[in-house]
């Protein structure tokens, strides 16, 4: 049984490389630099396998509502929500205010 309905073709490899060049290598430079620095201390630059993404992990600085924000200022939809424990979303204002009080 295969997870993919079709093979990963040379054409799709070219598209993936193009996306990598146009997105990761232009819009995620700070994340790339921080992960390269982390690799000097932590194998792979991350502490668990869910954080490792191709071509390199992103470094997130903020979580709010349904979104994550990386060190480069890019906004992402947080579909994982830390693996499930955050049933109220990421950093909800009402909870944050109660913790601070």
CATH 3.90.1150.10 for domain 10-100, yes or no, is yes
pLDDT category of residue 2 using cuts at 50, 70 and 90: low
Contact 89, 66 (CB under 8 A): yes
Structure-block tokens of residue 25: 């290598």
Q: For the chain, which residues make up each domain, given as ranges? A: 10-100
How far apart CA 101 and CA 98 sit, in angstroms, is: 5
Model pLDDT, residue 50? 65
Interior angle at CA 74, CA 78 and CA 58, nearest 5: 70
How far apart CA 6 and CA 16 sit, in angstroms, is: 15
Tokens 């070219």 locate to: 14
Q: What's the pLDDT tens digit per position in 35-72? A: 999 999 988 888 776 677 778 888 999 888 788 899 99
Return the higher-pLDDT residue of 89 and 79.
Answer: 79
Helix/strand/coil for 76: strand
């Amino acid at each position: 049984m295969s997870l993919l309905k079709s093979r990963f073709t040379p054409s799709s490899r070219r598209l993936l490389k193009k996306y990598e060049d146009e997105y990761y290598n232009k819009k995620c430079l700070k994340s790339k630099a921080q992960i390269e620095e982390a690799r000097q201390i932590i194998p792979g630059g991350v502490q668990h396998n869910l954080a490792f993404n191709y071509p390199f992990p992103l470094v997130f600085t903020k979580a709010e509502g349904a979104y994550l924000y990386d060190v480069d200022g890019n906004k992402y939809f947080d579909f994982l929500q830390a693996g499930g424990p955050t049933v109220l979303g990421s950093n909800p204002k009402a909870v944050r205010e109660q913790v601070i009080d």
